[in-house]
C-alpha cells in the first residue's frame, strides 16, 4: 500500500472501531482511534506476517501491552485477512473470539494475552531473547502506553533489554499524555521520556504518530539500528478523527451511543472524502 491507501485504511479502521464499541455498548474507543495510523502502517506495510498462516515460525511478533485498545488490532487483523470483517461486530459479545482484552488462546495472530498494564515489554523482551537463541531474523514489536510506563516492571524490562542489547526489539509508545483519570503529567509524570530511555541505553525516535510517512520511515530506520533496543515515542491524540473525543480522557472507556456513533462515522466519512 502507498501512503494514500494507508491513510484510507486508517480511516476504515477508525470507522470499524466506532461500530464495534457502539454495537457492544462497551469498550475503549479513544486510545484505539489514536493508534489507527500506526496499526495501519504495521499491518499493511511493515510487519513480516502471513494472515493465512498466523503461526508461521519466522513471522514478526506484535505484542499489544495496552490491551484495552484491542479494537484497533482486531480491525487491522480482519482487514488484512486473519478473519472475516463481519466478525468484528461480535466484539465483546458472549463466546466471541474478540474479547475486551486480547486472548492468546482464543484468536490466532494474537501473540500474548493482555489486560493489566506493565506486562507487554517484559513479554516482548522474552520473545526477543528467544528469537536470538533460535537464530531467527524476525523482529518483536511492542505497542505500549503511557500507563504501562507507570509500572515498575516496565522499567525492569527496559533495563533487561539494554543489558542483552536486543536490537531485534522495537517498542512503540502511544504518547498521548492522557490516561483513564486525566493527564499523565499530573497523575504520574513521565517526561522527559526520551531522556529516560536514552539513560537506559536505548535508541530513541520521537515522531508524529499520525504522520504515516514518518511512521514508516522511522520503523525502517529502527530495524536497521544495531547494538541496542529501539523505542519510538509516538505523539498521538486520543480519539483522533472524532472531534468530540479528541484529547478527552472521559472517552477512554466509554462507548458512544447510537447518535454519537452516527456523528463519528459522518465525520470520518468527510475526512475520507478529503483523502480521496
Nearest residue to 66 (alpha-carbon basis) of 165, 146, 156, 181: 146
pLDDT (average), residues 136-143: 97
Q: What percent of the chain has pLDDT over 70?
A: 100
- What pLDDT does 73 receive? 98
- What pLDDT does 182 receive? 87
Which band of pLDDT confidence, cut at 50, 70 and 90, is reported for residue 115? confident
Which band of pLDDT confidence, cut at 50, 70 and 90, is reported for residue 116? confident
153-212 confidence digits (pLDDT tens)? 999 999 999 999 999 999 999 999 998 888 999 999 999 999 999 999 999 999 999 999
DSSP single-letter state for residue 93: -
- What pLDDT does 180 receive? 84
Would the pLDDT of 143 be above 90? yes
Q: What is the pTM of this model?
A: 0.97
Cis peptide before 43 (omega within 30 of 0): no
Q: Name the residue with higher pLDDT: 130 or 146.
A: 130
19-66 confidence digits (pLDDT tens)? 999 999 999 999 999 999 999 999 999 999 999 999 999 999 999 999
pLDDT (average), residues 130-159: 96
Q: What are the phi and psi torsion angles at 116 (to 5°)?
A: -65, 130
Contact 218, 42 (CB under 8 A): no
Other Cβ atoms within 10 Å of 176 Cβ, number: 24
Distance, CA of 239 to CA of 245 (rounded, Å): 5
Residues in the chain, how many?
276
Nearest residue to 228 (alpha-carbon basis) of 193, 205, 203: 203
Would the pLDDT of 74 be above 90? yes
Break the chain into its structural domains and give their ranges: 3-275
Distance, CA of 264 to CA of 247 (rounded, Å): 15
Helix runs in the chain, H state only: 3-24, 29-34, 36-41, 70-80, 120-133, 152-163, 184-187, 193-199, 212-224, 258-275
- What pLDDT does 181 receive? 85
Would the pLDDT of 255 be above 90? yes
Say if strands 182-183 and 178-179 run parallel, antiparallel, or are unpaired. antiparallel
The CATH label, of 3.40.50.720, 3.40.50.1370, 3.40.50.970, 3.40.50.300, for the domain at 3-275 is 3.40.50.970
Distance, CA of 224 to CA of 244 (rounded, Å): 39
pLDDT (average), residues 224-252: 96
- What pLDDT does 191 receive? 96
Amino acid at each position: 500500500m502507498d501512503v494514500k491507501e494507508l491513510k484510507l485504511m486508517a480511516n476504515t479502521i477508525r470507522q470499524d472501531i466506532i461500530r464495534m464499541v457502539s454495537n457492544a455498548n462497551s469498550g475503549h474507543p479513544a486510545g484505539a482511534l489514536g493508534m489507527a495510523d500506526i496499526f495501519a502502517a504495521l499491518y499493511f506495510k511493515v510487519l513480516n506476517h502471513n494472515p493465512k498462516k498466523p503461526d508461521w515460525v519466522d513471522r514478526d511478533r506484535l505484542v499489544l501491552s495496552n490491551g484495552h485498545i484491542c479494537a484497533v488490532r482486531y480491525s487491522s487483523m480482519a482487514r488484512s485477512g486473519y478473519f472475516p470483517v463481519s466478525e468484528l461486530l461480535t466484539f465483546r459479545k458472549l463466546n466471541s473470539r474478540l474479547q475486551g482484552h486480547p486472548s492468546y488462546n482464543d484468536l490466532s495472530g494474537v501473540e500474548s494475552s493482555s489486560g493489566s498494564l506493565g506486562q507487554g515489554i517484559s513479554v516482548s523482551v522474552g520473545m526477543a531473547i528467544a528469537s536470538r537463541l533460535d537464530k531467527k531474523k524476525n523482529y518483536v514489536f511492542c505497542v505500549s502506553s503511557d500507563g504501562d510506563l507507570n509500572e515498575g516492571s516496565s522499567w525492569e524490562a527496559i533495563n533487561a533489554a539494554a543489558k542483552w542489547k536486543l536490537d531485534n526489539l522495537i517498542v512503540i509508545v502511544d504518547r498521548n499524555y492522557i490516561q483513564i483519570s486525566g493527564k499523565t503529567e499530573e497523575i504520574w509524570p513521565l517526561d522527559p521520556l526520551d531522556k529516560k530511555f536514552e539513560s537506559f541505553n536505548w535508541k530513541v525516535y520521537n515522531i508524529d504518530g499520525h504522520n504515516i510517512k514518518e511512521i514508516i520511515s522511522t520503523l525502517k530506520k529502527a530495524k536497521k539500528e544495531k547494538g541496542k533496543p529501539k523505542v519510538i515515542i509516538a505523539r498521538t491524540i486520543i480519539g483522533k478523527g472524532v472531534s468530540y473525543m479528541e484529547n478527552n480522557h472521559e472517552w477512554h472507556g466509554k462507548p458512544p451511543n447510537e447518535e454519537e456513533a452516527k456523528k463519528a462515522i459522518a465525520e470520518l466519512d468527510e475526512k475520507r472524502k478529503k483523502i480521496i
